[in-house]
Amino acid sequence: MEASLAITEEELQRYFELNKLKKEIEEEIKKFKTKFHNHFDDLIGKEQKGEIQRGNYKLQRQIRTSVNYEDNSTVEKLEELNLGDFIIVAKRPDADKLKAAFKLGLVEESIFEECKKEKLTQAIVVKETI
């Protein structure tokens, strides 16, 4: 593996400042979006698409719809109608029960060693120490 390039205090400071600025920008954008949605709500009604133009800028509100079905009630209706082919049966291990079985000695953990998947997540945090 190639040796890391040196990380300077200036780079850490710039990263810290940019991250802080990013949060401020995201907060300001959130406020604008709220204002724009409120404007469209007052102008044309809630959940209605709309468009306004100011100078060289056009503001559009788009409305997108997605449909999902509530799992339990939909499965019940499908079963009532004998439409079992429309139901997905997903088999998944119960990790909590499996861990408990390891602790109680009911199952040998080493048997499942090759089945384990570890997920690592990396995060960068720079804090000001002044």
> Does 117 reside within a domain?
no
* 48 and 71 assigned to the same domain: no
Could you tell me which of 19, 4, 7, 9 has the C-alpha nearest to residue 125? 19
Say whether both 77 and 99 belong to one domain.
yes
Asked whether residue 108 falls in the same domain as residue 78, the answer is: yes
- 40 found inside a domain: yes
Work out how many domains the chain is built from and give that number: 2
Domain boundary among 25, 43, 64: 64
pLDDT above 90 as % of the chain: 82
Residue 44 contacts residue 50 (beta carbons within 8 Å): yes
**Which residue is associated with the tokens 């090759």?**
114
Q: Do 61 and 36 touch, CB atoms closer than 8 A?
A: yes
Question: Which range of residues forms the domain containing residue 107?
Answer: 67-112
3-state secondary structure of 53: strand
Q: State residue 4's pLDDT score.
A: 67
- The 10 Å Cβ neighbour count of residue 11 is 12
pTM for this predicted structure: 0.64
pLDDT tens track for 42-95:
999 999 999 999 999 999 999 999 999 999 999 999 999 999 999 998 889 999
How many Cβ atoms sit within 10 Å of the Cβ of residue 22?
10
